[in-house]
């Protein structure tokens, strides 16, 4: 048996992971499940998978869940708070940790799993984006294994040469091609973009995901974060990573070699495929995803991204080239701007404006500790909230 902890088990990735786990009861057991506040779903998951531990952020909510589980005869111990997340990420009972919390909120727990030498199935791209160097050195020092379950990075991982020794160029890799669907607004007239609603932005054409990553997909900040994620995962310089729009989301990404070969991974857009790939790795296990019917897909199309429509993509490339503190500022400003847009306090087209304003005020400098990352994150959040307030007030004044 292999035992796992899922950080963020009630989210889209967490639920898909448990769906795959449930298909292999002889192979996988669950040690810990965590959620921010979705008590009812966490309760159901605990009854079904009988983990040793469950974690909720809020202490009162954790006590309530503990009482319900005791009444149901379940032996799960319920913990609370962010330190409990770090604790369950490093438990000796679990060899696998699925990092599926959204945002920089997942950083400390994911890092705790890296320091404890776990096999980490990484969905929480923001932890690699904001603390890439610290995170990769923790993985290296502890002997942890890092397997990407972000579909593009999982596809790249599957398309890479078998040996990881040497640089990408030494291994014959010329380019990494990250595919992007282009999201729901790929063809919307630019004049209409200012008025799109949160409901329209989270309605992704191909994937069902959490709200934050859905908005990131619409702005293509998700692809920008993924360029940074690929940089750290595959030691790839920014110029080696290219983005190509592929609206069908069937080719999940590609690796181009110096001899002209291009190797890709294809499949239906279903996160259970990359999750099962990483859970079973190096074996292949069933995921529950439908098999790809190419004749039904019919045609696959590709186009270059339009940077004027998707300014967030350029902002992310620029931040990666500038480095450390700028990338933390980019992520923080994006998290705040997306949340403010979802709460209808700023317009969709304000998102890149907020990020750009924050980056102008965030000095570029090296980052040397997790506390330092958190400091820059806090400062950038304050700047972003002020920028949002300014934009929101400006819009109300114009509307009034």
Which residue ranges make up the site for Mg ion (CB under 5 A)?
150-152
Spatial distance between the Cα atoms of 189 and 173, rounded to a whole number of angstroms: 37
Rounded to a whole number of angstroms, the minimum distance from the CB of residue 205 to Mg ion is 14
Rounded to a whole number of angstroms, the minimum distance from the CB of residue 104 to ligand NAD is 9
Nearer to ligand NAD, 17 or 357 (CB): 17
Rounded to a whole number of angstroms, the minimum distance from the CB of residue 34 to ligand NAD is 6
- Cα→Cα distances 207→2, 55, 121, 144, 181, Å: 29, 28, 19, 30, 10
Sorted by sequence, the CB contacts under 8 Å of residue 386 that are 6+ apart come out as none
Rounded to a whole number of angstroms, the minimum distance from the CB of residue 229 to ligand NAD is 9
Q: Are residues 304 and 313 in contact, defined by beta-carbon separation less than 8 angstroms?
A: no
Q: What are phi and psi of 80, to 5 degrees?
A: -140, 160
Nearer to ligand NAD, 320 or 391 (CB): 320
Q: Are residues 198 and 272 in contact, defined by beta-carbon separation less than 8 angstroms?
A: no
Rounded to a whole number of angstroms, the minimum distance from the CB of residue 217 to Mg ion is 8
User: CB under 5 to 8 A by kind: which of ligand NAD, Mg ion, none does 254 bind?
Assistant: none
Give the three-state DSSP class for 204: coil
Nearer to Mg ion, 124 or 151 (CB): 151
User: CB under 5 to 8 A by kind: which of ligand NAD, Mg ion, none does 66 bind?
Assistant: none
Rounded to a whole number of angstroms, the minimum distance from the CB of residue 45 to ligand NAD is 10
Nearer to Mg ion, 150 or 270 (CB): 150
Query: Residues 19, 20, 24, 27: is their CA dihedral positive or negative?
Result: negative
Q: Are residues 246 and 180 in contact, defined by beta-carbon separation less than 8 angstroms?
A: yes
Rounded to a whole number of angstroms, the minimum distance from the CB of residue 12 to Mg ion is 12
Nearer to Mg ion, 150 or 379 (CB): 150
User: CB under 5 to 8 A by kind: which of ligand NAD, Mg ion, none does 38 bind?
Assistant: ligand NAD
Nearer to ligand NAD, 269 or 392 (CB): 269
Rounded to a whole number of angstroms, the minimum distance from the CB of residue 106 to ligand NAD is 7
Q: Are residues 10 and 51 in contact, defined by beta-carbon separation less than 8 angstroms?
A: no
Nearer to Mg ion, 33 or 209 (CB): 209
User: CB under 5 to 8 A by kind: which of Mg ion, ligand NAD, none does 207 bind?
Assistant: ligand NAD
Nearer to Mg ion, 126 or 152 (CB): 152
Spatial distance between the Cα atoms of 109 and 187, rounded to a whole number of angstroms: 39
List the structure tokens of 170.
């030494």
The CA-to-CA distance between both ends of the chain, in Å, stands at 63
DSSP code at position 187: S
DSSP code at position 280: H
Preceding peptide of 282 cis, ω within 30°:
yes
Sorted by sequence, the CB contacts under 8 Å of residue 273 that are 6+ apart come out as 151, 154, 267, 287, 289
Spatial distance between the Cα atoms of 79 and 107, rounded to a whole number of angstroms: 19
* Binding residues vs ligand NAD (CB under 6 A): 8-14, 35-36, 38, 57, 100-102, 105, 123-126, 150, 207, 209-210, 213, 271
User: CB under 5 to 8 A by kind: which of ligand NAD, Mg ion, none does 98 bind?
Assistant: none
């Amino acid at each position: 048996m292999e035992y796992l902890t899922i950080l963020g088990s009630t989210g889209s990735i967490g639920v898909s992971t448990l769906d795959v786990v449930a298909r292999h009861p002889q192979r996988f057991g669950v040690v810990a499940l965590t959620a921010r506040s979705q008590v009812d779903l966490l309760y159901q998951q605990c009854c079904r998978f009988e983990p040793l531990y469950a974690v909720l952020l809020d202490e009162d909510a954790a006590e309530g869940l503990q009482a319900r589980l005791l009444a149901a005869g379940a032996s799960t111990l319920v913990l609370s708070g962010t330190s409990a997340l770090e604790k369950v990420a490093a438990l000796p009972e679990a060899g696998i940790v699925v990092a599926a919390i959204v945002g920089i909120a997942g950083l400390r727990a994911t890092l705790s799993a890296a320091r404890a030498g776990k096999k980490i199935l990484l969905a929480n791209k923001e932890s690699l984006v904001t603390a890439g160097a610290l995170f990769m050195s923790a993985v290296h020092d502890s002997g942890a294994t890092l397997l990407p379950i972000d579909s593009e990075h999982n596809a790249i991982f599957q398309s890479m040469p078998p040996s990881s020794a040497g640089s990408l160029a030494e291994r014959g890799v010329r380019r990494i091609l990250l595919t992007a669907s282009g999201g729901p607004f790929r063809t919307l007239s630019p004049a209409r973009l200012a008025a799109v609603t949160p409901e329209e932005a989270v309605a992704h054409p191909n994937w069902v995901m959490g709200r934050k990553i859905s908005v990131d997909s619409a702005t293509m900040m998700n692809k920008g974060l993924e360029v940074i994620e690929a940089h750290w995962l595959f030691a790839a310089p920014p110029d080696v990573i290219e983005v190509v729009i592929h609206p069908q989301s069937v080719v999940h990404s590609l690796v181009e070699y110096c001899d002209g070969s291009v190797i890709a991974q294809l499949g239906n857009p279903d996160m259970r495929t990359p999750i099962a790939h990483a859970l079973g790795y190096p074996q292949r296990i069933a995921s529950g995803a439908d098999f790809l019917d190419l004749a039904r897909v019919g045609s696959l199309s590709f186009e270059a991204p339009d940077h004027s429509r998707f300014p967030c993509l350029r902002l992310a490339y620029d931040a990666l080239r500038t480095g450390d503190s700028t990338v933390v500022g980019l992520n923080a400003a994006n998290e705040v701007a997306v949340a403010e847009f979802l709460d209808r306090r700023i317009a969709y087209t304000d998102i890149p404006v907020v990020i750009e304003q924050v980056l102008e005020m965030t000095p570029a400098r090296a980052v040397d500790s997790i506390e330092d990352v958190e400091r820059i994150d806090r400062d950038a959040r304050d700047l972003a909230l002020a920028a949002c307030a300014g934009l929101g007030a400006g819009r109300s004044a114009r509307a009034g």
